[in-house]
């Protein structure tokens, strides 16, 4: 019980302000305001991590801000607007957004293509196949908590990792300077 009292879980509060159109005011629209309360907890002796809001786009790019810098996030009229405590609000078109992540880390979802890079990482049933890596490249697989759950080494630039016995979840595979995300279903 004392350990439970020493550790607070992060909390997020959603507050929706709805303005409905009426016959007297036909131009009124719905407006949703998302207020974020980041109650970042830590046990005694642990260092607190910075909390982030990551807007991840369909093209795998992202816009990240520390939660402490954000006043509010507004959702409405086809846009998501991140309003900082100071500075210019960042307006994001909803159709361009893949997801919005509230996390302890500044993350991205995917990588940008590098010209001349022939490295290929592909799922093949219960295996992940790597080709085009350097001769003896190391392969590492991390779970969503950042723990290494698998390792392998490429042979002549090719490698295979069997993920059939992995629990369902999201994983990161890193090899030869390239990082990819995969989901085990």
Contacts of 179 (CB under 8 A, 6+ apart): 111, 172, 173
Q: Which of the four pLDDT bands, split at 50, 70 and 90, describes residue 103?
A: low
Q: Domain 120-184, what fold?
A: Immunoglobulin-like (2.60.40)
pLDDT at 10 over 90: no
CA gap 152, 160 in Å, rounded: 8
pLDDT band at 105 (very low <50, low <70, confident <90, very high): low
For the chain, the C-alpha Rg in angstroms (whole number) is: 21
Distance CA 35, CA 13 (A): 6
The proportion of the chain whose per-residue pLDDT surpasses 70, expressed as a percent, equals 65
Q: Give me the residue spans of the domains in the chain.
A: 52-103, 120-184
Query: Higher confidence at residue 63 or residue 20?
Result: 63
Q: How far apart are CA 68 and CA 70, in angstroms?
A: 6
Q: Please tell me which of 6-20, 23-37, 87-101 the model is most confident about, judged by mean pLDDT.
A: 87-101
Kindly provide the residue ranges of all beta strands, DSSP E only, lying in 28-157, ordered along the sequence.
32-34, 52-57, 62-66, 70-76, 79-84, 90-93, 97-103, 120-124, 127-131, 138-143, 148-153
Q: Is the dihedral of CA 138, 60, 98, 102 positive or negative?
A: positive
Pairing of strands 169-175, 178-184: antiparallel
CA angle 14, 83, 21 (to 5 degrees): 60
């Amino acid at each position: 019980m004392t350990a439970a009292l020493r550790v607070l879980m992060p909390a997020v509060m959603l507050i929706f302000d709805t303005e409905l159109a009426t016959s007297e005011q036909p131009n009124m629209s719905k407006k949703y305001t998302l207020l974020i309360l980041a109650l970042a907890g830590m046990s005694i002796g642990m260092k607190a991590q910075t909390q982030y809001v990551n807007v991840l786009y369909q093209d795998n790019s992202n816009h990240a801000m520390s939660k402490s810098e954000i006043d509010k996030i507004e959702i409405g009229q086809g846009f998501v607007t991140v309003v900082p405590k100071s500075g210019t609000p960042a307006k994001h078109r909803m159709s361009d957004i893949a997801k919005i992540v509230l996390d302890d880390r500044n993350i991205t979802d995917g990588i940008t293509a590098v010209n001349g890079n022939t490295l290929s990482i592909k799922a093949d049933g219960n295996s992940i196949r790597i080709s085009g890596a350097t001769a003896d490249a190391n392969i590492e697989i991390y779970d969503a908590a950042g723990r290494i759950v698998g390792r392998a080494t490429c042979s002549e630039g090719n490698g295979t990792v069997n993920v059939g016995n992995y629990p369902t979840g999201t994983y990161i595979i890193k090899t030869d300077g390239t990082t990819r995300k995969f989901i085990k279903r």
